[in-house]
Structure 1
Amino acid sequence: MDTQLWKQVTNCLTKKKVIVVVIVFVLFVGLFFATKSVVKMLLPSDSRKTQITSEFVSSQINGISELATLHHHYRKVANYQDAKKLLVYMPDWRINKSIKEFSLIYQGDVKMGYDLTNVKIEVDSVTRTIFIHLPEPKILSHSIDFESIQVLWERQGWFNDIKFEDFKQFFISEQKKYEKENYDELKRLASERAQKIIRLNLGSNIKLVESPESDEKSFIDRWIRPEDGYRIKMP
């Protein structure tokens, strides 16, 4: 009888302990989320102030085309050679004598940029990601600094003098050649420039987060204030 009574008392105490533990756990969880809500209300949140849509993002970057333009300066050594055949059966040594040529150093400037009014933007509110698809960049201007020209050497040909038109056609050809040979590199630099400016501009109006920074957040900080910013992807 004493043993049975003791078992009943033990079971009763065990049930009470379980009930107490459950009550404490519920109170703790309730207090935790209540504290979390209060903290979130007290802390400023940019994402609550502004609804992030593709239209909003587009309005933020449409006016920064000039800022996002790549200004590329270069210096180049170039050679020019032209042979004028005076007679159909001119000997080779005379052809050599008719060659006009020169070598010079010059500097140029290329501007390459994007028409940001044609940017395609998608906002994924679930993953909080902004996808920005840039159009193909275009060369906006290409100029030669004629004051920078240094003629290294030149040679006139027989009845084939170097003329102003020779220099004009030479530089037109040089511009096209430089753009063709360096297009991929200019495109890469223009893309890096545009992405940097777009991120800086959006960062002043939208809270942005980066993976390295979010990984460094403490466990408590992640619970009290989860990431409410956006990531930018520019595929």
Structure 2
Amino acid sequence: MFKRKNTDTSSEIKKNKDKLSNETEKNEAGVSVETNKKDAIKINIKNKNTGILTRIICFGLGCLVTFIVMISVGFKMVKSETVSTTSDDGLSLPGETQVREVTVEEVKVKLEEIGELSTYQGTYSITYGKKETRELLEKFAIPFTSNNITIECEGVVKVGYDLDSINVEVAEADKKIFISIPEAKVNDNYVIWDTMNCSEENNILNPIEFSQYQELISEIEEKGLEEVENDGIYTKAEDNLKLLIEKFLEDFEEYEIVFM
């Protein structure tokens, strides 16, 4: 009777051991799974940190390369603006800026730009009349055969220069540009027809002919030219041209303009 009880007790102890063993295995499995999850999270965090660090490094390298390129380009630009000159001993003097040298061709190109601006005009106002009488044998005036024309008008005289005839010399050592201006020439001389006022005394024995008007206009233009010449049109034209030349050559500020 006592022997059976011991057997039951032994069986119960064995079951408890098996149960404890199973629970232990479950706990170990749970711990193992939890450990794997934590490791995975750590690996994921590490990968993210590595990616962020990589981006930061790439961005920093990009900025560094850009900065180096900008410095290099700036250095080249500064270097291109700074020209090394040579001393009398043949030694290079770095950092000195090259002084501009003006050539005759450069000056002439500038003068060609003046073009029609070199033209100067003066005006005149003339009242002029002429009497025409028939003559016998071109010596004796025939009575009662006279006619008379009087014209009052204004006119314009234009003078200018042949720019190709302007002589240019450049003295580099003295920093001077010598310019020789030729004499001005009359380009145009005409009567302004809208200003013309004409009075006539015709004669049936000697009617006014168109050729008389033509001759009278030509004489008026000659008198008008004489008037503007006495008024100093050539001097004014030369002064005007000098101002134009100085204006068009103002880029050569290191040089003195000398008119000959």
- Tell me the TM-score normalized by structure 2: 0.56
Q: Does 1:172 align with 2:218?
A: yes
In the TM superposition, 1:104-123 aligns within 5 A as 104-123=151-170
Q: Does the Cα contact within 8 Å between 1:118 and 1:135 map onto a contact in 2?
A: yes
| Structure 1 residue 87: Cα displacement | 6.8
Q: Does the Cα contact within 8 Å between 2:178 and 2:258 map onto a contact in 1?
A: yes
Matched residue of 1:51: which SS?
A: coil
Q: Does the Cα contact within 8 Å between 2:158 and 2:186 map onto a contact in 1?
A: yes
**How many equivalent residue pairs?**
164
Q: Does the Cα contact within 8 Å between 2:126 and 2:224 map onto a contact in 1?
A: no
In the TM superposition, 1:1-235 aligns within 5 A as 48=99, 50-86=100-136, 94-95=142-143, 97-151=144-198, 153-157=199-203, 159-180=205-226, 182-183=228-229, 185-203=232-250, 205-207=251-253, 229-235=254-260
Q: Which has the higher contact order (CA 8 A, sep 6+)?
A: 1
Matched residue of 2:109: which SS?
A: helix
Q: Provide closer, same or farther for how the CA distance between residues 154 and 54 of structure 1 changes in structure 2, counting only shifts above 3 A.
A: same
Question: What CA distance in whole angstroms lies between the structure 1 residues aligned with 2:162 and 2:197?
Answer: 36
Q: Does the Cα contact within 8 Å between 2:169 and 2:179 map onto a contact in 1?
A: yes
Question: What CA distance in whole angstroms lies between the structure 2 residues aligned with 1:206 and 1:135?
Answer: 22
Q: Provide closer, same or farther for how the CA distance between residues 158 and 88 of structure 1 changes in structure 2, counting only shifts above 3 A.
A: farther
Question: What CA distance in whole angstroms lies between the structure 2 residues aligned with 1:148 and 1:89?
Answer: 37
Q: Which amino acid aligns with 1:190?
A: A
| Structure 1 residue 65: Cα displacement | 2.6
Q: Provide closer, same or farther for how the CA distance between residues 124 and 157 of structure 1 changes in structure 2, counting only shifts above 3 A.
A: same
Deviations 1:110-166 (A, max 9, x none): 111001112101112233221111122111111211111012x33224522222221
Question: What CA distance in whole angstroms lies between the structure 2 residues aligned with 1:74 and 1:190?
Answer: 16
Name stretches of at least 5 consecutive residues in structure 2 with no aligned partner.
1-95
Q: Which amino acid aligns with 1:168?
A: Q
Partner of 2:20: none
Q: Provide closer, same or farther for how the CA distance between residues 122 and 144 of structure 1 changes in structure 2, counting only shifts above 3 A.
A: same
Q: Which amino acid aligns with 2:170?
A: V
Q: Does the Cα contact within 8 Å between 1:99 and 1:158 map onto a contact in 2?
A: no
Matched residue of 2:249: which SS?
A: helix
Q: Which amino acid aligns with 1:196?
A: L
| Structure 1 residue 107: Cα displacement | 1.2
Q: Does the Cα contact within 8 Å between 2:153 and 2:193 map onto a contact in 1?
A: yes
Partner of 2:21: none
Question: What CA distance in whole angstroms lies between the structure 1 residues aligned with 2:139 and 2:116?
Answer: 57
Which structure has the larger Rg? 2
The CA RMSD measured in Å over matched residues stands at: 2.6
Q: Does the Cα contact within 8 Å between 2:157 and 2:228 map onto a contact in 1?
A: no
Q: Which amino acid aligns with 1:115?
A: D
Q: Does the Cα contact within 8 Å between 2:124 and 2:227 map onto a contact in 1?
A: no
